[in-house]
C-alpha cells in the first residue's frame, strides 16, 4: 500500500494536471503494449501499433526504450520528468538534460530485475549521443503509437478533469481527493493506494501533489520512486470505449456517428447538450428542462452514442460531461 501524507499546506497546493500528459501517456503505453493483460479497450491499438513497429521502425532503434520500460516493476523516474506538464517538447528536453547521478541511480534500479542492452552502460555514463538517441526513440514511438490516437486520449482526460472540477467545487480539495475512489481512499489527511505493489509512505512536506489523469495508466495509480522529486500521482481515467484504430473501425465509427448525429436534431437534445457544458446529472437535466428523468436519460444516451458527451456513474447518480467534440458542436 502507498500512503501519501498531506498537511494543510499540501491540500492547498494539490492540483490536477491541465491536460493529458504526452510523456506519461507514452511511457505507460509501452507497459500496456508489452503486458500480458489483454484489455479489450486497447487490443486493436496493440495489434495496430505492433504491426506498425515491425514495418516502419527497426527493433534496434527502440531496443533501449523498451528495455527501460518493462511491463511490470520499476521504470526510470527520469523518463517522466515534471517538465512534461508543459508539453511533449518540454518533457523531451528534460530527458535530454538528465543529470548523470540520476541516470546512474535509475538504471541501477532497473538493471536489478531486468537485462539491459549494452547501450544502457553508455547512458549511465551520461553519454550525450545515447541520451539524444533515447529521446529520438521516444519521438519515433510517439508518432506511431500515440499521435494518431491523441484526440481520443485527450477526450478521456478532459472528461475526467470536468468530473474532478465538479468534485472540487462541491467539496473543496478534500472532495476532489475523495472523488478518486475506489482505487484511492482519502481519510484523515492520508491518501491511500491500496493495491500498490509494495508498502511505502510519501510525505509531501508542503509541496502539494500533482494529480495526472491518464488514459494508459493500467489500473494501479503510479508515483515516482524518488521522494525528493516534485510529488506526482498518475491515476487511470474512464477510457470512453477505447481506441478505434483500423480503417474499417474508423469507417464504422464514422457511420455510426453520422446516424447518431442525425438523431440529434431537435431543441430538447440541444438543450441537454448545453446543460452538460459544466457537467450535469440526469436529475439536474430533468429539472432544468422540465422533462422526466427517463427522457433526460434517453436524450443523454443519444448524445453519448454520437460521441458528444460522456456519462460517469457515481453511486446513485450519473454525471454527464461534454467531450471536446461535444463542446465544438455546442460552440458552433
* 29-66: pLDDT as tens digits: 999 998 866 677 788 899 899 988 888 666 677 999 99
Selected residue with higher pLDDT from 280 and 173: 173
Among 127, 150, 131, residue whose Cα is nearest residue 19: 150
Q: Is the pLDDT of residue 121 over 50?
A: yes
pLDDT band at 312 (very low <50, low <70, confident <90, very high): confident
Among 23, 121, 21, residue whose Cα is nearest residue 67: 121
- Phi/psi-derived region of residue 241, left when phi > 0, alpha when psi is between -120 and 50, beta in every other case: left
The predicted structure's pLDDT at residue 166: 87
In this structure, are residues 309 and 320 in contact, taking their beta carbons and an 8 Å threshold? yes
The predicted structure's pLDDT at residue 146: 94
How far is the C-alpha of 150 from the C-alpha of 23, rounded, in Å? 12
The owner of cell 479489450 is: 40
**Rounded mean pLDDT of 182-201?**
91
pLDDT band at 156 (very low <50, low <70, confident <90, very high): confident
Tens-place pLDDT, residues 2-30: 999 999 999 999 999 998 999 999 999 99
Strand partners, 185: 192
In this structure, are residues 146 and 138 in contact, taking their beta carbons and an 8 Å threshold? no
CA atoms within 13 A on the CB side of 164: 25
Strands of the 280-281 sheet, one edge to the other: 280-281, 317-322, 309-314
Predicted TM-score (pTM) of this structure: 0.78
Amino acid at each position: 500500500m502507498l500512503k501519501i501524507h498531506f498537511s494543510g499546506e499540501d491540500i492547498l497546493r494539490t492540483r490536477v494536471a491541465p491536460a493529458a500528459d504526452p510523456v506519461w501517456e507514452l511511457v505507460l503505453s509501452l507497459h500496456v503494449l508489452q503486458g500480458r493483460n489483454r484489455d479489450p479497450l486497447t487490443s486493436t491499438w496493440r495489434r495496430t501499433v505492433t504491426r506498425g513497429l515491425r514495418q516502419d521502425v527497426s527493433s534496434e532503434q527502440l531496443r533501449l526504450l523498451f528495455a527501460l520500460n518493462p511491463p511490470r516493476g520499476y521504470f526510470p523516474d527520469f523518463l517522466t520528468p515534471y517538465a512534461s506538464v508543459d508539453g511533449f517538447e518540454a518533457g523531451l528536453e528534460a530527458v535530454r538534460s538528465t543529470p548523470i547521478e540520476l541516470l546512474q541511480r535509475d538504471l541501477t534500479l532497473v538493471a536489478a530485475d531486468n537485462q539491459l542492452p549494452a547501450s544502457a552502460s553508455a547512458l549511465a555514463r551520461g553519454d550525450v549521443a545515447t541520451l539524444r538517441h533515447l529521446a529520438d526513440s521516444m519521438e519515433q514511438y510517439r508518432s506511431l503509437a500515440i499521435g494518431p490516437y491523441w484526440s481520443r486520449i485527450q477526450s478521456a482526460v478532459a472528461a475526467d478533469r470536468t468530473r474532478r472540477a465538479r468534485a472540487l467545487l462541491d467539496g473543496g480539495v478534500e472532495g476532489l481527493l475523495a472523488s478518486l475512489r475506489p482505487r484511492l481512499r482519502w481519510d484523515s489527511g492520508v491518501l491511500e493506494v491500496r493495491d500498490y505493489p509494495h508498502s511505502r509512505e510519501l510525505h509531501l512536506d508542503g509541496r502539494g501533489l500533482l494529480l495526472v489523469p491518464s488514459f494508459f495508466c493500467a489500473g494501479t495509480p503510479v508515483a515516482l520512486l524518488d521522494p525528493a522529486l516534485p510529488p506526482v500521482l498518475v491515476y487511470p481515467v474512464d477510457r470512453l470505449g477505447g481506441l478505434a484504430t483500423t480503417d474499417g473501425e474508423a469507417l464504422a465509427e464514422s457511420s455510426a456517428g453520422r446516424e447518431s448525429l442525425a438523431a440529434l436534431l431537435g431543441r430538447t437534445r440541444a438543450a441537454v447538450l448545453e446543460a452538460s457544458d459544466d457537467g450535469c446529472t440526469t436529475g439536474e437535466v430533468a429539472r432544468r428542462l422540465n422533462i422526466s428523468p427517463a427522457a433526460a436519460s434517453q436524450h443523454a444516451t443519444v448524445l453519448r452514442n454520437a460521441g458528444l458527451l460522456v456519462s460517469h456513474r457515481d453511486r446513485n447518480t450519473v454525471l454527464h460531461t461534454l467531450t471536446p467534440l461535444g463542446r465544438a458542436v455546442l460552440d458552433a
